[in-house]
Amino acid sequence: MAHAASLTASDARTGAPAIFRLAPMSRDLAVMTWIALVLPAWLLGAAYVSAGLARPVLTGAVGLTLFIYAGVWLAGRPTQFEIDEQALRIVWPVRRRVIPRSTVRDARVMTGPEFRSAYGFGMRVGAGGLWGGFGILKTKATTFSLWISRTDRLVVVELDGANPLLVTPDDPERFVARLRA
């Protein structure tokens, strides 16, 4: 952890962005991911033992499933979050979202139960269960931009003029401290 603390000090002095990887998956999301990853193999096995029209339909379903998985990996699941003096960036393999620091109102770490107590349950629109949850989360009170790989330690980032973010950086406390600096 001394290394992480030295990075924070170094980042602040040099102006280099502080980089936070997407946190490792919590057990519930890891189990859902493994189940989802077995699906194409199961479909391929079913295609192999099928005859007639079922074989090309199941083979096509495998292709479509793998195409969707690639889309989630490349454009749905962020790889890291970057914070510098000007912006918070959410970085994916094929895109990035830049949020000016001037629009960040507040950030806080919440446990899963604290989040449910504050916002209730929600409905997700986007990818869910495959490497995390990504897209939009609509709760009774708020609509969040959702970029999570854990369900136990969440960071809520309040923004001016935009939906709040719900993210899971690998070091939530340092992420919040850097955003508040």
**For residue 10, pLDDT beyond 70:** no
User: Can you give the pLDDT at residue 12?
Assistant: 56
User: Can you give the pLDDT at residue 15?
Assistant: 72
Residue 174 one-letter amino acid? R
User: Can you give the pLDDT at residue 11?
Assistant: 55
Residues 6+ apart with CB under 8 A from 3: none
User: Can you give the pLDDT at residue 89?
Assistant: 98
What tens digit of pLDDT does each residue of 25-79 get? 999 999 999 999 999 999 999 999 999 999 999 999 999 999 999 999 999 999 9
Average pLDDT, the chain: 91
What the block records as the tokens of 81 is: 């979050």
CA distances from 115 to 23, 58, 76, 141 (A): 18, 40, 22, 12
Q: What is the DSSP letter of 26?
A: P
Rounded distance, CA 64 to CA 91, Å? Answer: 25
What tens digit of pLDDT does each residue of 110-163 get? 999 999 999 999 999 998 889 999 999 999 989 999 999 999 999 999 999 999
